[in-house]
Structure 1
Amino acid sequence: MADTGILAPLFERLASSEHDGAPVFDRQALLDSVHTELSRLFNTRRGPKTLTRPPSVIDYGIADWSALQQQRSDDRRRLSRDIREAIDRFEPRLRLGEVQVNPLPEHPQRLSIRLLGELRSGQRHWPVAFVIEPGDEGLEVRHERLD
């Protein structure tokens, strides 16, 4: 990425050819790239504890939270903390402000996650919200522009 100091995700760097160089993102491309990376991150399970210090690619993903109880505020806080740590480590282009974990009204045993924050590219920042909810093939991520 030009002049940002923040590298594209590993998957995108590996997919680009040597001739392409590092991908350069405009606002929409950055939003799409972060969206894709969040989908990968939320649909990848890691073990209950980090395996390396500092955490490395071996620790990529979110710990399995299927056994957490949506009614318990401690479980929701633990999931929120795990999500924040994973995003801080593996998606630095998204600066999180708030992580909201709430039960889905129509499915009380399922959770909806809403991430509020800013997309970052160099000195430019854009407000954004991402919503993560169960879908037909795993967790689905959608984004909401806040401008």
Structure 2
Amino acid sequence: MNRDHPTLQTSILDRLIDEDPGLSHEPAPSRVFSIGQVKAAVTRDLENLLNTRRNIQVPPAAFEELNSSLFVYGVRDYTAQNPRSPAARQQLRLDIEQTLMRFEPRLRNVTVQVESTAASERNLRFRISALLVADPVTEPVTFDTFFDANRGEYVIAK
């Protein structure tokens, strides 16, 4: 393995995803990614996670295992919240942090920082910082993200 450009084992999901379904001849399967490809895969998966709305039903206390299951996958729906409200911003920040810690095992030490926005802006900007753990590499990463309140969609800058 080249120390300057280490290759990393791809996840099972990345091996199953067909990035080019229109291609009739499949290339030889690759079992390794560069760190850039891992970051791109994590970015894709984070956008999917953030753009999935969590079930609005609260799991019964007797079924505590549901709190770590697909039943609570995604984030709460914040489209009706005022993005300028400090309470709504804090709640969203905590929800995203907890969701990433629960459902994205490739990230450690996750912190979400809400950035200030103009008073007239309905979009909410925040920065996700974490350690990307992709054996044998651990690397700090940052994802500049915004929530478009008009479309109800999270977008990560690429």
Question: TM over 0.5, yes or no?
Answer: yes
Does residue 132 of structure 1 match 2:145?
yes
TM superposition shift of 1:42: 1.4
User: CA 1:13–1:54 in 2, change beyond 3 Å: closer, same or farther?
Assistant: farther
- Determine the C-alpha separation between the residues in 2 that align with 1:11 and 1:68: 33
TM superposition shift of 1:106: 7.2
Does residue 38 of structure 1 match 2:53?
no
Matches within 5 A, 1:113-124: 113-124=126-137
Query: How big is the alpha-carbon RMSD for the aligned residues of Structure 1 and Structure 2?
Result: 3.0
TM superposition shift of 1:47: 2.5
Please point out which of 13, 21, 34 is paired with 1:26: 34
TM superposition shift of 1:31: 0.3
User: CA 1:95–1:107 in 2, change beyond 3 Å: closer, same or farther?
Assistant: farther
Q: 2:66 touches 2:72 (CA, 8 Å); kept in 1?
A: no
User: CA 1:28–1:139 in 2, change beyond 3 Å: closer, same or farther?
Assistant: same
- Determine the C-alpha separation between the residues in 2 that align with 1:91 and 1:13: 17
Residue in structure 2 matched with residue 15 of structure 1 by the alignment: 17
Q: 2:100 touches 2:110 (CA, 8 Å); kept in 1?
A: no
Unaligned runs of 5+ in 2: 1-7, 19-27, 60-64
Please point out which of 123, 142, 145 is paired with 2:157: 142
Identity across aligned pairs (percent)? 27
Q: 1:70 touches 1:103 (CA, 8 Å); kept in 2?
A: no
Residue in structure 1 matched with residue 108 of structure 2 by the alignment: 95
**Structure with more strand by fraction:** 1
- Determine the C-alpha separation between the residues in 1 that align with 2:121 and 2:106: 32
| One-letter amino acid of the structure 2 residue matched with residue 74 of structure 1 | A
| One-letter amino acid of the structure 1 residue matched with residue 135 of structure 2 | G
- Determine the C-alpha separation between the residues in 1 that align with 2:146 and 2:128: 12
Give the paired residue count. 136
User: CA 1:57–1:122 in 2, change beyond 3 Å: closer, same or farther?
Assistant: same
Give the match's secondary structure for 2:84: coil
Give the match's secondary structure for 1:108: coil
- Determine the C-alpha separation between the residues in 1 that align with 2:56 and 2:147: 21
Give the match's secondary structure for 1:66: coil
- TM-score normalized by the length of structure 1: 0.73
- Determine the C-alpha separation between the residues in 1 that align with 2:70 and 2:50: 14
